[in-house]
Structure 1
Amino acid sequence: MRVAVVGYGYWGPNLVRNFSAHPDFEVAAIVDANESVRQRASTEQRGIRVVADFEEIARDASIEVVAIATPVATHFSLASRALLAGKHVIVEKPMCASVAECQELTAIAHRANRVLMVDHTFLFTGAVQMIKQLAQRRELGDICYFDSMRVNLGLFQQDVNCLWDLAPHDLSIIDYLLEDEVVGIDASSYCHLNPGFPDMVYVTLHFARNTVAHLNLSWMSPVKVRRIAVGGTKQMLVWDDLDQDQKIRVYNSGIEYLPADQRNSMIPQYRIGDIYSPRLPKTEALAGVVDHFSRVIRGDENSILSPERGTKIVRILEMTQKILDGAPTAGRQVREPRS
């Protein structure tokens, strides 16, 4: 399948490299409106056509797949034109700038009978796949909480705030692992550089099955941290994505109470057990995304990066943004409408 990669900024070169390495794909074109970026692409990707006008790609019947890595405000326009031209599409996160755009884009994909996927790359990391296996095998027990810290000094974005830039990673991971519905949201934000454009955001999500997830998101931290703690009734774990040797540590620890008729007080019993670090595969997550995309197009797998999942993430982002903007429905009483 011949592929056009649209956008050759930060993520575009990674897409070109991974699509080029897959036996089912051939990168035939790169599209970017910026002349200096096109010159760089021509130098780095010799033999691949580099163009400025997306319509040239949309009209090219030999292009079967379009991968979009452009600012979120352009996702709907580019993806819809590609789908209407009969091409399969994978688009970077977040899927679109609004739920309405997501829903319309999903409908276009269904009518065109084309595959539309959202590149939530973290779902194909060895760490997330391992946590999913632990959860499915019930080794963690019932998941009680997620506590995520995703902070760094920058990178400041011009088209989205800190929430829309960083939260999609955590939201996609939590949605994949929990398969549950958000029933309440608490959120607060702080704007240190640009008024009305948060660079620090704190979000707490309340789920139907009584799980809670807390997200600490920031472009203002002096150090880079990518860490998630997952607490279960049987075991707990910490995933430190920057630790190259032991990304996941599983703790056989917890808190237990005696039955009410056997205790004289509410003092819990603390269980402190062993710690182990499971071995994780070293494969690149984006290579897994590209392979999954191929299998979904061929009809061999159901998508875990579906537009319905992408819409769910944008719905949570949109609701949280309303809270940060001071909407009258803000607070824990907000309930997520079901798709």
Structure 2
Amino acid sequence: MAPSIIESPAGEITVPIKTDPRIADSNPKARVRRVIDEEGGNTTASYPAYLPTWDYGEKYPPLEPFTHVDHGKDADTSLKDLLSEGSKIQKITPTIGSEVTGIQLSKLTSAGKDQLALLVAQRKVVAFRDQDLASLPIEEALEFGGYFGRHHIHPTSGSPEGYPEIHLVHRHNNDWGLDQFLAGKNSSVSWHSDVTYEQQPPGTTFLYILDGPEVGGDTVFVDQVEAYNRLSPALKERLHGLKAVHSGVEQAEFSLSRGGVVRREPVKNEHPLVRTHPATGEKALFVNAGFTRSIVGLKKEESDALLGFLLAHIGRGIDYQARIRWAPKTVVVWDNRITAHSAVVDWVTGERRHLARITPQAERPYETPYIAEAEQAKV
């Protein structure tokens, strides 16, 4: 019988890990869990080197602050080094999402990478088709992603052996238990922004497909800038100056409860409810159901009510959301500072869904003062 699918506090869909960490600690041979071993040493995965491993002996110290350089801030707005001759860009919706063909991300110059950061900040999420990132040596893929910030090492997820900087999303036919997963909820929707509990959460983020179902398994993104813009001036003004607690504790506890790993002690950080993007100057809501726990200075009932409204507002905003359909050789790039996203668990055929994420960290979230709309019109 296949293990049932479970939703973690981060909104990530996973399955119970069979290995007991106490056994792993007492048995050196069990200190590394490898999916390829669980598949009998043979696999149908297109990229076996990317199959997840969990090293129970791998521990990391707390993250230290660093100075982040946002490459989109001074990029050439013509995007001439990114959108070269023969390329094509098409909007998916008016405010969020574009699809690009005719360029190769791995061949971009530094100027092209700067313009990529700017385009992604402007369009929030961009799908690039016919890319070679998955076929490159993993070291080269990481070198490319490292241009955009310090690599984040996820505290609990599986990674390719020897490359903890890669976060893997992996489900295959032996993990399938959609009926059990949906027994306690009506849909798979779980809006979240990645690891916002860190002091310096991710910015320009890359996810590339290795294997996927023929139909299904899409990812939906929501534009947190437009979500902020839709609020009344009075509420916008009230949100400024407020901070929320983002917590990684629940994610760590969830991993341990399933026999998983925790590579780094979990942290909590306070971030503004409204943050400003350094390249565009746009303001965005910075709350998500995966990690935002409470609003600082408010009583619990007040905090729950305001957070509940904001999260519902984000989740139901179908007019500022974009759905990305995965296809072979697709790389999706989004700005984690100004979006939230949710996987769509809707395929029942049991096909493998296997993706790799490169997650460069960015600046510590900050806000700029609220300016009334009447004053903005004078500028």
TM-score, length basis structure 2? 0.24
Taking structure 1 as the reference length, the TM-score comes to 0.26
User: Normalized per residue, which structure has more strand?
Assistant: 1
The structure with higher relative contact order (CA 8 Å, sep 6+) is 2
Name which one, 1 or 2, has greater alpha-carbon Rg: 1
